[in-house]
Structure 1
């Protein structure tokens, strides 16, 4: 069986569980919008969730429709399979605990009960738990280095995708149904984000050298999503000739929002889309995000 056939089989199986799936590019970035999909601010532009195009707008293209899944994989046979996490029916009805040993992540049996589990392509783990029915923020798990929560507004790569760097395959190691989160994990996942001494999206913004999107030094980021919106708007409104440096500055702002709890994968996806809307190449977008995140102490 070819890798494309294996991918299709896995995608159909996920859809059969009620999991909306979509495809990422080989670099784990969202696929580019199709040429017929208008850019924001242009005639015919639409909200991402209303788009009917096959693979546009990242996880907004996630679906359980078999015909669309078949068309996605036929068009992008080298893509990585991904599932939109969060409450159903928009998401898969799961919260995923993403353990990344490269950043100190460890499995804690006292906190993380056995459940459906995948080994990731970078030697980590994805633990799939049943969504509790309350809003769950996609963010780092409080107090746990190298462990993220992927839930509302997030996504994770699924087996049998192949990691673009290690070339190792994602694989299921426990295929039971997603279990409910134990009480201690539920408490952590649902706990309100702690305020951090980082600039606020509601504070007066100023510009650092290279166009960094930040706020006053003595403020806090209480609303990371609002800061992200401000930074993305700057990219979309940047004049020609300033778009690349503005994208870099916006990426540094998004990195700060990630430090305050915003989901990293969603931040990268939104920056990628904004960069494409600003007519930047994928190579320049990747470089801007990588350099900006590194400057803010993140590894994209």
Structure 2
């Protein structure tokens, strides 16, 4: 079976489970439909066959439409300064033990803030703090970076949002969640020569009620946007043309800063496309646009600099296809 045929079969299998899939660029986590991937995700076999007949796309699963929520337990990242406080920041009361999650024994030991832990260890500590068993009897997928995706059915009630590990609204360092507005790379996909593979083949079980309560509590705590100063635009205005460019930068940056979390990435990408047209026309520099949009996108700790830059780069590339200039 060719790689392309294998990916097509996997995409059809995921869709048959009721999951909405869409193509990612081969060997990549990047949507091949970056401006509308959630809307275009589908379970239609004819559409899926047409997409994967074109090339060996990796597979994305639109988590929200699929009725899922996925916990992403990641490998340790280099230490960062200014990380948001998380509910797992104090593990001094956690009793050491060993718990089997997936196919690996995970040691749960207390750690100082200077130590970097795998998301598995942080998740074990979180469960212990709440006096709850580890909800590991569900579908578990190993990622190429030695992380794990734990799949659950989305709970009843309001939609849960994505969270980013280590921020004020997260389950802990190295734990992301993917819900409405998010996607995950599906099993059978390959990145850097390594595949996403199922290590515990269960149907996703309901998301635990206590975890739902934790996430809803975090949402309530951060529902009021942090106070953020207006975006600074380091562009000197010398004439009418300069005034137009400064206004364009300011307008797009403020749109990004004011966007609701559910549409944050889409608004950021659109702003980068619009300003990327001016970059391609020689009116602005990519460094200036990146600086301004990055400042707006990371305001209030809503996303990391790396996440913002990836979206901005994608938008600039799209904008470069239609250069735009400003009349003198």
TM-score bucket (shorter structure): 0.5 to 0.7
1:96 aligns with 2:70: yes
1:275 aligns with 2:310: no
1:204 aligns with 2:230: yes
Aligned partners of 2:296, 2:28: CA distance in 1, in Å?
20
Task: Structure 2: state its 5+ residue gaps.
Answer: 78-116, 236-248, 323-328
- After superposition, give the CA deviation of every residue in 1:119-176 in whole Å (9 maximum; x if it has no partner): 0111000000101132111112524101101000000001111123xx2111011221
The farther-off stretch of 131-140 and 248-257 is: 248-257
Check whether the contact 1:121–1:169 (CA below 8 A) recurs between aligned residues: yes
In the superposition, relative to structure 1, how do residues 137 and 235 fare at CA in structure 2: closer, same or farther (>3 Å)? same
In the superposition, relative to structure 1, how do residues 231 and 205 fare at CA in structure 2: closer, same or farther (>3 Å)? farther
Aligned partners of 1:63, 1:153: CA distance in 2, in Å?
15
1:83 aligns with 2:61: yes
Partner of residue 298, structure 2: 256
Partner of residue 67, structure 1: 46
Partner of residue 187, structure 2: 159
In the superposition, relative to structure 1, how do residues 227 and 75 fare at CA in structure 2: closer, same or farther (>3 Å)? closer
Check whether the contact 1:85–1:96 (CA below 8 A) recurs between aligned residues: yes
Check whether the contact 2:153–2:205 (CA below 8 A) recurs between aligned residues: yes
1:132 aligns with 2:155: yes
Aligned partners of 1:269, 1:61: CA distance in 2, in Å?
21
Task: Structure 1: state its 5+ residue gaps.
Answer: 34-47, 49-56, 282-300
In the superposition, relative to structure 1, how do residues 237 and 214 fare at CA in structure 2: closer, same or farther (>3 Å)? closer
In the superposition, relative to structure 1, how do residues 66 and 222 fare at CA in structure 2: closer, same or farther (>3 Å)? closer
Question: What's the secondary structure of 2:76's corresponding residue?
Answer: helix
Aligned partners of 2:207, 2:262: CA distance in 1, in Å?
26
Partner of residue 145, structure 2: 122
Aligned partners of 2:305, 2:153: CA distance in 1, in Å?
19
Give the Å deviation of 1:185: 1.4
Q: How many residues align?
A: 245
Partner of residue 5, structure 1: 5
Q: Which runs of 4+ in 1 moved over 4 A?
A: 194-199, 211-215, 220-228, 261-265, 267-270
Matches within 5 A, 1:142-181: 142-164=170-192, 167-181=193-207
1:236 aligns with 2:274: yes
The farther-off stretch of 155-164 and 271-280 is: 271-280
Give the Å deviation of 1:9: 1.3
Aligned partners of 1:190, 1:264: CA distance in 2, in Å?
26
Aligned partners of 1:184, 1:263: CA distance in 2, in Å?
31
Partner of residue 298, structure 1: none
Give the Å deviation of 1:76: 2.2
Q: CA RMSD, aligned part only?
A: 3.7
Aligned partners of 2:287, 2:301: CA distance in 1, in Å?
21
Give the Å deviation of 1:227: 6.8
Check whether the contact 2:231–2:253 (CA below 8 A) recurs between aligned residues: yes
Give the Å deviation of 1:179: 0.7
In the superposition, relative to structure 1, how do residues 264 and 258 fare at CA in structure 2: closer, same or farther (>3 Å)? farther
The farther-off stretch of 57-66 and 101-110 is: 101-110
In the superposition, relative to structure 1, how do residues 252 and 30 fare at CA in structure 2: closer, same or farther (>3 Å)? same
Partner of residue 45, structure 1: none
Give the Å deviation of 1:206: 1.8
The farther-off stretch of 11-20 and 58-67 is: 58-67
**TM-score of the aligned structures, taking structure 2 as reference length:** 0.63
